[in-house]
């Protein structure tokens, strides 16, 4: 699920691709699974395009993208997983659960997500204060949808199915991502046949897509896997 600030950071991709930003279908019922979320995305892609497409998933979007590639391989031409992995780390799962419970009871809860945004205790502490104050302004329009998605992601674990992904895949992460450890990026890439891995030194979760090299790396990867053997630019 992309926020406006994240879409702005992804704008450089438009130099190389026609970019579509996609979010989960509204009106998700309680008990919705990640497979069902991916199926909705698959239906939308098939309705819009006649060929397979390049799929890029950032953070929670990476969870959807991995499920999509495993369940609907015919529509994924290349797969790029950014600041995400095959499952949520336990501390992130706990933070999201605390946020979801607060959200559904009408309490401020955004601050529960602060530790997943920064590995620095000082910065995370400051973020908790700012996020607590900003919570009323950033509350989702439909809390039930957010709750349903967070619960779906809580159950998400593609570890045993990564080998089923056939699309050429690149995993990109930052070594200062407070939500996903580098080991999760490594395990995700290692589980997918022939997947490539790029770790950005000094980059936080959203700092990855803000790097000047990001769009070039994604475009170079997509171009390289489309070229027939022995061809050159």
Structure confidence by residue, pLDDT tens digits, 45-81:
999 999 999 999 999 999 999 999 999 999 999 999 9
The DSSP output letter for 2 is: -
**The pLDDT of residue 156:** 96
Residue 155 included in any domain: no
Average pLDDT score over residue span 4-21: 84
Domain identity same for 49 and 108: no
58 and 8 belong to one structural domain: yes
* 106 and 56, same domain (yes or no): no
Q: How far apart are the C-alpha atoms of 17 and 21, rounded to whole Å?
A: 12
Indicate whether 101 and 213 sit together in one domain. Answer: no
Percent of the chain with pLDDT over 70: 92
Q: Rounded to an integer, what distance in angstroms lies between the CA atom of residue 17 and that of residue 33?
A: 30
Q: Are residues 73 and 8 in the same domain?
A: yes
Residue 82 shares a structural domain with residue 170: yes
Residue 232 has pLDDT above 50, yes or no: no
Domain count, the chain: 2
pTM (predicted TM-score):
0.88
pLDDT band at 3 (very low <50, low <70, confident <90, very high): low
DSSP one-letter code for 89: -
> Does residue 157 lie within any of the structural domains?
no
- Give the per-residue pLDDT at 119: 61
Residue among 97, 20, 63, 66 nearest 180 (CA): 63
Q: Is residue 105 part of a domain?
A: yes
| Structural domain contains residue 201 | yes
Q: Kindly state whether residues 123 and 59 are assigned to the same domain.
A: no
> The domain containing residue 124 runs over which residues?
91-148
Residue 59: give its domain's CATH number.
3.40.50.1820
């Amino acid at each position: 699920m992309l926020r406006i600030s994240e879409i702005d950071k992804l704008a450089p991709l438009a130099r190389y691709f026609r970019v579509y930003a996609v979010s989960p279908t509204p009106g998700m019922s309680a008990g919705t699974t990640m497979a069902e979320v991916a199926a909705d995305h698959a239906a939308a892609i098939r309705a819009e395009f006649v060929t397979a497409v390049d799929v890029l998933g950032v953070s929670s979007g990476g969870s959807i993208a991995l499920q999509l590639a495993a369940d609907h391989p015919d529509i994924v031409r290349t797969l790029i997983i950014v600041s995400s992995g095959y499952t949520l780390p336990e501390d992130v799962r706990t933070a999201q659960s605390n946020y979801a419970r607060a959200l559904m009871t009408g309490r401020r809860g955004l601050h529960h997500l602060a530790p997943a945004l920064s590995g620095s205790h000082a910065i995370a502490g400051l973020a908790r204060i700012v996020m607590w104050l900003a919570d009323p302004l950033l509350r989702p329009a439909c809390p039930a949808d957010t709750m349903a998605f967070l619960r779906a992601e809580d159950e998400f674990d593609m570890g045993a199915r990564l080998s089923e992904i056939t699309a050429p895949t690149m995993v990109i992460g930052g070594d200062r991502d407070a939500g996903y450890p580098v080991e999760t990026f490594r395990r995700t890439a290692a589980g997918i046949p022939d997947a490539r891995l790029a770790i950005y030194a000094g980059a936080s979760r959203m700092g990855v897509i803000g790097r000047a090299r990001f769009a070039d790396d994604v475009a170079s990867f997509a171009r390289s896997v489309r070229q027939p053997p022995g061809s050159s630019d």
